[in-house]
A = this chain, B = another copy of it.
């Protein structure tokens, strides 16, 4: 038996009161006033928001478990300051924890971090610790460009990030490299910023030697790794030009791509060039692209169909659906083993 684990789900349908509070929080910050109290949100509201959306789609499409994190586009680390980002992160992560408690068989939590463009990583490290040790989360989303669209932060290989990586290694949790909303009008969030940031992140990892310093650190680059599989020859060639080891040893022991690529030819390419052990099933739903593909009659983000159609062995499919996720998220593996799975 294979568990179908979706490594990339965001709580995009959080209750309105949560979203309204965020707006009030930001408005208060801009006026120099304290944020209003966070609203009471009932279990019933959360249950409704999940059952009518994520859970309905998960059941229709046949997934078992979603690795669930706060909505990526509204992390908005570029808004406010460290304190604003921290309070918003805690509220978002606490809400994820409530979803997981209400639907423990269907969701497991991944946190957002309270990054802020001018801040260090102390608050992010503390929040990661809280989410893993107190809330039972299994990983985090790390924003490589908390400025929101101008790529002014140090490369992921820079020592700026090392204290966070040390904490990740200590906790044995991976990070999904995931930017948030764009504050750059020329970068559409899900169509430009996300895919560009994924691609840029991978190239940073080629240029550096991060995994020599952190051999057990693990990153998931979402959206199929941005442009990387399509340009796999370019990246293999650039590693060679930069006198780096081949990508399989230099980067791909530590980097994984999800399957948020919304058509069969893209998934076919990915399975052809990327080792199946580096691919994690993901859908990013309810998410970036919500419509039905007129060429197939199915939802663009029903990525399970593409995996089903791959000409690979059942062993390989098991890796993509379950095996790789359990390896990349050891705390998930332990949790499932504790349930006899």
Q: Which residues of A contact B (CB under 8 A)?
A: 149-155, 184-188, 190-192, 195-197, 199-200, 203-204, 206-207, 223-224, 226-227, 229-238, 240-241, 261-263, 265-266, 268-269, 272-273, 288-291, 293, 295, 300
Contacts and interface: CB of A to CB of B under 8 A. Distances in A.
A227 B227 CA distance: 4
Given A199-B192, A227-B195, A204 B233 contact: no
Most buried by B among A154, A203, A227: A227
Given A237-B289, A263-B273, A291-B240, A187 B151 contact: yes
Contacts of A150: 150-152
A279 to B, nearest CB: 14
A232 B186 contact: no
A96 to B, nearest CB: 25
A186 B154 contact: yes
A306 to B, nearest CB: 9
A197 B226 CA distance: 13
B200 A186 contact: yes
Contact of A151 (B149, B240, B288, B300): B149
B233 A230 contact: no
Specify which of A149, A226, A230 lies most central, judged by the most chain B CB atoms within 10 Å of its CB: A230
23 contacts: A149-B151, A151-B184, A151-B186, A153-B186, A154-B186, A186-B200, A188-B206, A188-B238, A191-B234, A192-B200, A192-B203, A195-B227, A196-B227, A227-B230, A230-B269, A231-B261, A233-B289, A233-B300, A237-B290, A237-B291, A241-B291, A265-B272, A265-B273
Given A196-B199, A199-B196, A233 B293 contact: yes
A146 to B, nearest CB: 13
B290 A191 contact: no
Contact of A191 (B230, B235, B261): B235
Given A155-B185, A199-B196, A191 B293 contact: no
Given A188-B203, A227-B227, A263 B195 contact: no
B233 A262 contact: yes
Contacts of A266: 230-233, 269
Interface centre among A154, A224, A241, A266 (most CB of B within 10 A): A266
A289 B240 CA distance: 9
Contacts of A291: 237, 240-241
